């Protein structure tokens, strides 16, 4: 048993070591990718079923490494948060989004896209430098605040409620839109959300995925939509992949749809190919 224990420990420290090395390696690469301007922002157009057209888009960051290939954002965003690179990454994304809004104004308009949503991580949102940065970038690109939406997850809002409300209030006073991302996956209730100055909640795609087969998901999605309506909040459904899901959401009064069924995340240059 002693031997077994020792081997176990050796094995454990070896894999841990490899994992840490890999992390450090990836972090250095991310740092370099940021320095070399290698990160790309894709846009995923969002569809309005009532008006039968696209109306907005979400910015989703992409990183393709020369050796490692495509690295999922969930992986490198977490890494950026741990290493502090998230501030630089967040700024890169915000600037690229503002650049798109100016540079591709006509293309976006021709598709009906009036603005872009930007994901915020907690560390970025709670940083003192965040508000001054947003104002400076908007100013630099001459972008109207109304063209920007910020997405915050429930967990970020629960982390430090009072500070979150303060910063959100400032963003709202500036004229930006605010939404709660991945709604339903955290612990907050809709009633609790009422204290946040938000415009919209994004129903997490785990509740959409198994519609119409999963009766429980149908109930949950309907309840979220009905409650949001009573509270005067807009809803958008994430991860809509089928006609049935889209029809269901329309019937429930959730008109805003994001998902592969209408459009995948894509580089701005590919937006032209979308059927109008
Ligand atoms: P999220 O904010 O919940 O973004 C939605 C995710 O769902 C995206 O994954 C998108 O590609 C994916 N998606 C969209 N439609 C469908 C669909 O119909 N089916 C399925 N299965 N998936 C769909 P992605 O691009 O891998 O991003 C993952 C997460 O990384 C995002 O989740 C967000 O939390 C984070 N992220 C992405 N870009 C940024 C960024 O610029 N800043 C920050 N802080 N986080 C970001
Ligand atoms: Ca999001
Ligand atoms: Ca989401
Ligand atoms: Ca997510």
- Alpha helical stretches, state H, 36-129: 73-83, 86-103, 105-111, 122-125
Q: Look up the pTM and report it.
A: 0.94
Q: Which ligand places an atom closest to the C-alpha of 257?
A: 1
22 falls in which pLDDT band (50, 70, 90)? confident
Q: Kindly report the protein residue whose alpha carbon is nearest to atom 23 of ligand 1.
A: 239
- The predicted model gives 73-87 an average pLDDT of 96
- Taking the CA of residue 41 as reference, the ligand 1 atom at the shortest distance is 41
- Could you tell me the distance, in angstroms and rounded to a whole number, from the CA of residue 136 to the centre of ligand 4? 28
- The predicted model gives 125-139 an average pLDDT of 97
- Hey, what's the torsion of the CAs at 271, 95, 98, 56, to 10 degrees? 50
182 falls in which pLDDT band (50, 70, 90)? very high
Provide residues with CB under 6 Å of ligand 1. 44, 59-61, 72-74, 77, 93, 119-121, 181-182, 205, 238-241, 258-260, 265
Per the model's pLDDT, the better-predicted residue between 18 and 222 turns out to be: 222
- The predicted model gives 147-165 an average pLDDT of 94
- Could you tell me the distance, in angstroms and rounded to a whole number, from the CA of residue 72 to the centre of ligand 1? 9
1 falls in which pLDDT band (50, 70, 90)? very low
E strands, the chain, are 40-48, 53-65, 69-71, 116-119, 148-153, 177-183, 200-203, 234-237, 256-257
Q: Work out the mean pLDDT of the chain and round it to a whole number.
A: 93
218 vs 272: CA distance, rounded Å: 35
């Amino acid at each position: 048993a002693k031997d077994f224990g020792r081997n176990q420990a050796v094995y454990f420290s070896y894999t841990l070591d490899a994992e840490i090395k890999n992390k450090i390696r990836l972090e250095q690469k991310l740092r370099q990718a940021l320095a070399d301007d290698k990160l790309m922002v894709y846009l995923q157009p969002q569809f309005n079923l009532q008006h039968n057209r696209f109306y907005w888009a979400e910015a989703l960051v992409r990183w393709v490494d020369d050796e490692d290939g495509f690295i999922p954002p969930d992986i490198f965003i977490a890494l950026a948060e741990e290493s502090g690179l998230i501030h630089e990454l967040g700024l890169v994304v915000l600037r690229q989004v503002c650049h798109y809004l100016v540079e591709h104004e006509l293309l976006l308009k021709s598709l009906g896209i009036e603005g872009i949503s930007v994901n915020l991580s907690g560390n970025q949102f709670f940083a003192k430098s965040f508000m001054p940065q947003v104002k400076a970038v908007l100013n630099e690109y001459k972008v109207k605040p109304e063209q920007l939406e910020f997405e915050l997850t429930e967990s970020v809002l629960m982390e430090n409620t009072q500070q979150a409300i303060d910063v959100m209030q400032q963003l709202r006073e500036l004229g930006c839109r605010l939404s709660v991302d991945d709604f339903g996956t955290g612990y907050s209730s809709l009633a609790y959300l009422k204290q946040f100055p938000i415009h919209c909640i994004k129903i997490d795609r785990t509740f959409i995925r198994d519609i119409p087969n999963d009766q429980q998901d149908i109930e949950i999605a309907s309840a979220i939509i009905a409650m949001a309506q009573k509270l005067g909040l807009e809803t958008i459904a994430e991860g809509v992949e089928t006609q049935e899901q889209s029809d269901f959401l329309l019937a429930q009064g959730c008109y805003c749809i994001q998902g592969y069924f209408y459009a995948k995340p894509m580089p701005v240059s590919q937006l032209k190919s979308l059927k109008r």
